[in-house]
Amino acid sequence: MWNSVSNESGEPRVRTYAEILKQKQDDEGWQSATSAKQAEVETEVLKLYKLRNVPILTRQKHISFLKKSLFRQSESYQLDSSRPWLCYWILHSLQILGERLDSDEYSKIVAFLGKCQSPEGGFGGGPGQLPHLASTYAAINALCTIGTPQAYEIIDRKALKQFLLSLHEEDGSFCIHKDGEQDIRGVYCALSVAKLTNIYTPEIFKETENWIAACQTWEGGFGAAPGMEAHGGYAFCGLAALMLIGKPQLFCLRSFLRWIVNRQMRLEGGFQGRTNKLVDGCYSFWQGGAFPLLHAILSMEDNVYGCHWLFDQEALQEYLLLCCQHPHGSLLDKPGISQDVYHTCYALSGLSVAQNSPRPLIIGSRILNLVKIIHPVYNLENTCAANALKYFNTLPIPD
């Protein structure tokens, strides 16, 4: 058994192989396409757990992969409209791993993101592209991760405010871009950038809290829009948006808790995004990142609410470190899936959440495996979020 942090009773909490094996799916004799896929994933995961390798974060391999990916992507990537996202995913991952680039590299990235900024406000997916709330969120998070005066000053806050106003609908929702669809991602992205850059006003977000609350489903999670299925990414966006707007009391906490605790897979240890779906490394953040927010809400109600999050933090770390690390660097959706920076980013964000509860829980070597703490609302490394908020909150809200 590897070194593990103990729980309050002093007993190790890392699962034995026998305990993991007991969690195999029982299809009760009614095999379906879904149950067959689940069985395949469990078989691959069990092979890795049976090896009982020591869980070690291969930090330098991930750093090498990320640095190579920053300036050169595989030809299989079709992401010309997502270039600010690539900057954010890579820079944020490096920050979580404790790696900074040199000032010249940061300056080049800031200059590139400046070319993605529209005169109308907001950022497009590449130079000359129409501004979009998702790429605006990614660009501003990347700039806040860089955290230099040049990075902060390149953001046209006045135009950004007008851009957000132009996308706001009467029912409180936001179009994701001009004449685009309305969904809860847009609301979260708008609130996140508005709060980070200190351009938030009640006018921009009139009726928004009520629209968010209407997206909670009968299952308990949040869907993309009212009446749609609960989903991990949308659930995080809904909860984080309500926290940003200061109205967490507007959703049903009890049903949300019931839904989200049941998204952690019993055998794998990672999270699924929706009911009856497969485990996926990216939901380590999209689902796992909701738990610090839930802890904050519960702590407000009860003053003190435990020292750990309400999920199995060690099991998630096991899944990420034993099943999701590619031998040449990067973190994966699940074993056997190809490398990409998206899953690397959100798996590392989830690893940070799993380690850094009020009482830290770190499996394996603390020296080798510990990563930086993230701000769960913005998904920025904590010091990057704090520095950005400190800088922009000294500036007046533009007219």
Catalytic residue list = 231, 274, 277, 280, 282-283, 333, 340, 343
* CA-to-CA dists, residue 152 to 37, 67, 107, 195, 281, angstroms: 46, 23, 12, 14, 31
Tokens matching residue 70: 């920053």
Look at the chain and count its residues: 399
Whether the CB-CB separation of 316 and 282 falls below 8 Å is answered with no
Closest by alpha carbon to 186, among 141, 224, 145, 228?
224
- Give strand pairing partners of 117: 123
In sequence order, the 6+-apart residues with CB closer than 8 A to the CB of 22 are none
Tokens standing for 282? 């990216």
DSSP 8-state secondary structure symbol assigned to residue 319:
I
CA distance 12 to 8: 10
Q: In whole angstroms, what is the distance from residue 150 CA to residue 110 CA?
A: 7
Where helices occur in 247-378 by DSSP H, the ranges are 253-261, 283-286, 290-302, 313-318, 341-355, 366-369
Nearest to 94 by CA among 359, 330, 377: 330
3-state secondary structure of 168: strand
* 188, two tokens: 């979260």
